[in-house]
Amino acid sequence: MGYDSLIERVGSFGLFQKRLFVLFFLNGIPNGLLITSIVFLHFVPTHRCKLPFYERQYNQENPSFNYSEGAIPEVDNVKCYNGYDYVSDTGIKSAMMEFDVVCENAWIKPLISSLFFVGIAIGTLSGSISDRMSIAIVYFGISLSVDTLSGDIFINCFLMGLIEIPGLIAAFMGVKYCSRSYAHSGFMFISGFACLLAALFKNVYPTVTLMFALIGKTANAGVFYIVFVHTAEIVPTNVRHFYMCAGSFAGRVGSVIAPFFGYAGKCCMFTILQL
């Protein structure tokens, strides 16, 4: 007798399980909002040094000068002693803008995100592999990079959340009608390949980049579903709790590393341009 038929005969989703499902679902809403808030709290728009001398000069020559449409002349060896001017039409006043966490202080941004996920990682140890870590890096890497995609940041963030629904439905169908291993590897491949294409097209076709990023997020949401189902089934009962905690902790280690990927990419690109 197979596992699915045995569970169907014994009964697996009664009133008690439905109550647990509702409680976990309600608990996930504020957690999701908390993680998503990082995108807006850490938003950094286009910015430049605030140079009062050139601002006065432009105001005298052209009183209607719009800093969002114009640019100041290049000045060598000028440090931003007077702060920064930020050009943004989103209406967001982020913490990064308030404390000028840009340029030489840009490393603080991923550090704050990583410390947040360190706290979550420690929380997973209250109950107590490599695969779970790689999934978390991709998942949070996509989520935290919404502000770098083209288009409206609010719409993109909404789409990143909405797109998880078809991903979970597809994963459920994949687990039900295919083997766990095939469904798992298939969703992993789709997610990785879509993210690779999104990176390749980022500076060429912004709309195509957004499309592949959404596909990658959809597949990754499915992987998150499948990996928990698959792990719970293949691990013996007497050690299942320990392994689930260990796997969750490994995933959180991946989320701690994820914020630095975008920062490392910008630093490497800046270095290449300087060379």
Q: How many domains does the chain have?
A: 2
Q: Which of 200, 57, 2, 1 is nearest to 208 (CA)?
A: 200
Same domain, yes or no: 119 and 225:
yes
Q: At 206, which CATH number?
A: 1.20.1250
Segment (H or E) for 48? strand 46-49
If pLDDT is split at 50, 70 and 90, which confidence band does 118 have? Answer: confident
Note the pLDDT of residue 14. Answer: 76
Does residue 11 lie within any of the structural domains? Answer: no
* Residue 145 confidence (pLDDT) above 90: no
Does residue 98 lie within any of the structural domains? Answer: no
Same domain, yes or no: 138 and 210:
yes
Note the pLDDT of residue 233. Answer: 81
Does residue 94 lie within any of the structural domains? Answer: no
Q: Which of 18-32, 71-85, 215-229, 251-265 has the lowest mean pLDDT?
A: 71-85
Does residue 16 lie within any of the structural domains? Answer: no
63 contacts: CB under 8 Å, gap ≥ 6:
none
More reliable by pLDDT, 243 or 2? 243
For every residue of 3-19, DSSP letters joined together read HHHHHHHH----HHHHH
Note the pLDDT of residue 120. Answer: 76
Range of the domain at 76: 46-87
Phi, psi of 225 (to 5 degrees): -65, -50
More reliable by pLDDT, 209 or 240? 209
* Residue 63 confidence (pLDDT) above 60: no
